[in-house]
Amino acid sequence: MKIAAWFVGLLLVVLTGFMLFTAGWERPPIKSEQTGYRGTGMVDVVNPRTEATMMSSQVAPESTPLPPDAGPKAGDIYENVQVLGDLSVARFTRLMQSITNWVSPEEGCVYCHNLNNLAEDSVYTKVVARRMLQMTQNINDQWSDHVQQTGVTCYTCHRGENVPQYGWFNSDPAVTPVGGMAGWRNGQNRASPEVGLTSLPEDSFTPYIDGAENIRVIGDTALPSDNAGATIQSTEATYGLMIHMSEALGVNCTYCHNSRGFSVWNESTPQRATSWYGLEMARALNTEYVSPLSSVLPPHRLGPTGEGLKINCTTCHQGVNKPLYGASMVADYPSLAKPTSGTAMTRSEPSEPASEGISVAAETREVEPDTASRAAMMPD
């Protein structure tokens, strides 16, 4: 009896140790806030200690005073100013200095320019920076459904680094089989940080925020059929993408979804609509701005398939539901709020739903909610 009691006690100590010192457990106190309908588990859970650390790393830099938009224009004074030529020289110089601080604080102007001839485009980073300026303007002007009035600047993603810390490359197609009974991995079954260290497909980004595949998880029939649209593979890839979004924003599933009916728009939170636009925005930015720049990047900037680093949710959010906790920098840099003369580019509209009815279980690409459903999203 004593041996049995001793064994049980040792087992309890070991289990308690695992609970206390493994990553899946957080000590109290933990804050929770109801975000949706009662009884649905729609609760935002926050660790105050983690939040305090995160807040200290999500601070927007101070802006210098905005000079008057008077005097000669940058395009009239300097050569080869293709995007910001309508700015006054004073505002142009201020923005260039700010971009230097946001992207290349150690290298300075030489990171993008040949100091012997500032006008030439011989430095590849200048070509990239010009296109990224146009992308930033496009986001703020065309994607307010996602960025709202907060907007973005170069600092939103770069945070003082030449290349944003977070992004993704296309996965290497030369996936090698595993020896023994494990067989072919098929791009999964390996603990991948991109999908929360699960065995889900390692590349959930290419189909949905670079390619044109639809998000399909829940079929509308009891048994598989030709039009069910939800294979095991597509379901796993969707779950991988959702895990990425959860970790990128530092939230759980109920931040956007009602767990009673994940596919039902009119029982979801308003954040689900914002996230839907975010996915569409990421796809548009990758295909229209980021991927085409791969041809000008040097080999050390390319991934295994010869393409540059692409955008995902973490690129901007970096662990919080609003980048920089919602601090708006674009108000201090009005030239980034909309395209300047000669650089306007219209937004590629998201694909239309394949069928009517936003609560149809066999969804296609997170069908956009209509106006009535938006109003019904708010909890009582």
- Check residue 88 and report its DSSP letter: B
Chain position carrying tokens 């603990």: 191
CATH number of residue 312's parent domain: 1.10.468.10
Q: Please give the mean pLDDT across all residues of the chain.
A: 82
The answer to whether residue 178 sits within a structural domain is yes
Q: Determine the structural domain holding residue 345 and report its residue range.
A: 62-377
In a domain, 56, yes or no: no
Helices (H), the chain: 2-21, 48-57, 74-77, 89-103, 124-142, 144-147, 154-158, 205, 232-249, 270-285, 313-317, 371-377
- Distance, in Å, from the CA atom of 15 to the CA atom of 3, rounded to the nearest integer, reads 18
**Better-scored residue on pLDDT, 31 or 352:** 31
| pLDDT tens readout for residues 305-330 | 899 999 999 999 999 999 999 999 99
118 lies in a domain? Answer: yes
pLDDT (tens digit per residue) in 128-157: 999 999 999 999 999 999 999 899 999 999
Identify the pLDDT of residue 360: 29
Residue among 46, 74, 60 nearest 150 (CA): 60
What long-range pairs does 179-186 form, CB within 8 A, spacing at least 24?
none
* pLDDT value at 351 more than 60: no
Tokens of 342: 């000669």
Q: What is the DSSP string of 167-202?
A: -B-PPPS-PPPBTGGGB--TT-SS-BGGGTTBSS-S
Rounded CA gap, 119 and 109, in Å? Answer: 12
Q: How confident is the model at residue 286 (pLDDT cuts 50, 70, 90)?
A: very high
pLDDT, greater one: 365 or 220: 220
Of 53-67, 157-171, 356-370, the least confident? 356-370
pLDDT given at position 219: 59
Q: How far apart are CA 374 and CA 380, in angstroms?
A: 13
Residue 43, phi then psi, degrees to nearest 5: -130, 135
**Does pTM top 0.85 for this prediction?**
no
Which residues are within 8 A (CB) of 3 and not within 5 positions of it... i.e. 6 or more apart? none
Does residue 279 form part of some domain?
Answer: yes
Residue 237 CB neighbours (<10 A): 26
How far, in Å, CA of 144 to CA of 279, rounded?
Answer: 13
Reported as a pLDDT band with limits 50, 70 and 90, residue 31 is confident
* Burial call 350-364: b when 16+ CB within 10 Å, e when fewer: beebeeeebebbbbb
Which has the closest alpha carbon to 274: 229, 241, 322, 240?
Answer: 322
Question: What's the mean pLDDT in 164-186?
Answer: 70
Task: Report the 10 Å Cβ neighbour count for 279.
Answer: 20
* Average pLDDT, integer, range 277-285: 94
And the tokens for 276?
């839907």
| Residue 16: inside a domain | no
For residue 139, give every residue at least 6 positions away whose Cβ sits within 8 Å of its Cβ, in sequence order, or none: 147, 151, 152, 281, 285
| Cα–Cα distance for residue pair 116/347, rounded to 1 Å | 37
**Residue 104 lies inside a defined structural domain of this protein:** yes
Burial of residue 286 (number of CB atoms within 10 Å: 0-12, 13-18, 19+): buried
**Whether pLDDT at 234 is above 90:** no
At 186-228, the pLDDT tens digits run 777 777 777 888 888 888 899 899 888 877 676 566 666 655 5
**What is the model's pLDDT at position 135?**
97
- Identify whether 216 is part of a domain: yes
pLDDT of residue 24: 61
Least confident stretch, 34-38, 154-158, 172-176, 365-369: 365-369
Confidence at residue 212, expressed as pLDDT on a 0 to 100 scale? 80
Residue 130 lies in a domain: yes
> How many whole angstroms separate alpha carbon 279 and alpha carbon 244?
12
Residue 171 has pLDDT above 90, yes or no: no
With 0-12 / 13-18 / 19 or more C-beta atoms within 10 angstroms meaning exposed / middle / buried, residue 180 is exposed
Least confident of 89-98, 117-126, 164-173: 164-173
- Classify burial at 242, counting beta carbons within 10 Å of its beta carbon; exposed 0-12, middle 13-18, buried 19 or more: buried
Sign of torsion over alpha carbons 331, 334, 335, 340: positive
Residue range 9-27, pLDDT digits in tens? 777 777 776 666 665 667 7
Q: What is the pLDDT of residue 214?
A: 77
Number of domains, the chain: 1
Distance from C-alpha of 46 to C-alpha of 24, rounded to nearest angstrom:
14
Task: Please give the Cα distance from 301 to 179 (Å, whole number).
Answer: 32
Question: Which residues on adjacent β-strands are paired with residue 73?
Answer: 88
Reported confidence tier of residue 95, pLDDT bands at 50, 70, 90: very high
Q: According to the model, what pLDDT value does residue 362 have?
A: 33
369 has a pLDDT exceeding 60: no
Q: With 90 as the cut, is the pLDDT of residue 28 above it? A: no
Position 364 scores a pLDDT of 34
